[in-house]
């Protein structure tokens, strides 16, 4: 390397190339571990998972680089904090668990960059245990069968008598939530909280209510 170029990049702390390469390689590996834990525990049906997975890996490596740059210099640390404070993120983090995994990646990157590999290796299993213990659970099958039924019955008909047979066939339970008049008193609107007997009971219930004389409209919505 030319002397003028070497003099332009004088270091107050000598970081050897093998040490630098090993720390960043370990940061990459542990970043993949953090991202893998996120993928295993973040829950299903969330489209932003892939983007955050890559972010966690990159963040671990980048924080390791930042820690190497800072070294033992307090002045450099404050300078980098001021520079990074300029960055503004517009993406809203909807799940606080995502924020926790970002902090997880930052902590691992800092530990690796500072040379405290033991802290990262000992801390990862504990964080993983917490993530697995409190990971999001899928909705129970019974919760997937809870609906709200909006029913319109013509004036002069007894709603309880009209719905007794269809409800008994297709519902595990039901409860009247609200009632009111419609069409200037010519009809009665009723709202029920219901639980279906099975996944196929929704269509059968609506079909039977539509065939029932006195029922003008029926609408079933997920609770």
pLDDT in tens, 75-96: 777 777 766 665 666 555 667 8
Q: Do 171 and 155 have their domain in common? A: yes
**Residue 20 and residue 119 in one domain:** yes
pLDDT, greater one: 45 or 125: 125
CA dist., res. 133 & res. 138, Å (int)? 14
92 and 8 in a common domain? yes
pLDDT in the model for residue 88: 60
Whether the CA torsion 34, 36, 39, 42 is positive or negative: it is negative
Domain's final residue, options 107, 133, 159:
133
Helix-helix angle 49-70:74-84, to 10 degrees = 150
Does residue 63 sit in the same domain as residue 97?
A: yes
Distance between CA atoms of residues 169 and 85, nearest Å: 62
> For residues 171 and 194, is the Cβ–Cβ distance under 8 A?
yes
pLDDT tens-digit readout, 18-29: 888 999 999 999
Domain co-membership, 112 together with 149: no
78 or 37, greater pLDDT: 37
Structure tokens at 174: 């039901």
Distances (CA, A) of 42 to 56, 78, 124, 136, 165: 13, 34, 16, 7, 43
Answer whether residue 140 shows pLDDT above 80: no
Range of lowest pLDDT (113-117, 142-146, 188-192, 193-197):
142-146
Average pLDDT across the chain, whole number = 83
Which pLDDT score, from 0 to 100, does residue 9 have? 58
- Give the range of the structural domain holding residue 32, as residue numbers without chain letter: 3-133
Q: Place 143 in a pLDDT band, splitting at 50, 70 and 90.
A: low
Q: Higher confidence at residue 155 or residue 92? A: 155
Q: What's the pLDDT score for residue 20?
A: 87
Between CA 205 and CA 146, with CA 190 as vertex, the angle to 5 degrees is 50
**pLDDT, mean of residues 142-169:** 87
Domain final residue pick, 133, 162, 182: 133
Report whether pLDDT(7) > 90: no
Q: Half-sphere exposure of residue 171, counting CA atoms within 13 Å on the CB side?
A: 22
Same domain, 15 and 125: yes
Whole-angstrom Cα distance, residue 180 to residue 184?
11
Same domain, yes or no: 107 and 179: no
State the burial class of residue 96 (Cβ atoms within 10 Å of its Cβ: 0-12, 13-18, 19+).
exposed
Number of domains within the chain: 2
- 90 shares its domain with 148: no
The CATH number linked to 166 is: 3.30.70.60
Same domain, 198 and 118: no
């Amino acid at each position: 390397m030319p002397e003028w170029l070497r003099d332009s990049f004088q270091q107050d702390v000598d970081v050897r190339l093998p040490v630098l390469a090993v720390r960043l390689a370990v940061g990459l590996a542990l970043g993949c571990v953090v991202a893998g834990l996120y993928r295993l525990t973040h829950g299903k049906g969330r489209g932003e998972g892939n983007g955050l997975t890559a972010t966690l890996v990159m963040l671990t490596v980048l924080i390791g680089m930042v820690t190497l740059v800072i070294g033992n210099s307090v002045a450099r640390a404050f300078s980098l904090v001021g520079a990074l404070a300029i960055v503004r993120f517009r993406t809203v983090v909807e799940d606080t668990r995502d924020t926790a995994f970002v902090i997880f990646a930052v902590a691992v990157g800092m530990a690796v960059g500072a040379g405290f590999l033991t802290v990262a290796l000992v801390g990862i299993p504990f964080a993983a245990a917490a993530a697995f213990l409190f990971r999001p659970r899928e909705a129970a099958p019974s919760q997937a069968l809870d609906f709200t039924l909006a029913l319109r019955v013509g004036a002069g008909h007894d709603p309880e008598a009209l719905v007794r047979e269809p409800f008994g066939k297709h519902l595990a339970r039901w409860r009247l939530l609200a009632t009111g008049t419609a069409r200037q008193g010519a009809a009665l609107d009723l709202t029920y909280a219901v639980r279906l007997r099975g996944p196929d009971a929704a269509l059968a219930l609506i079909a039977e209510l539509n065939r029932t004389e006195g029922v003008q409209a029926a609408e079933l919505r997920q609770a």
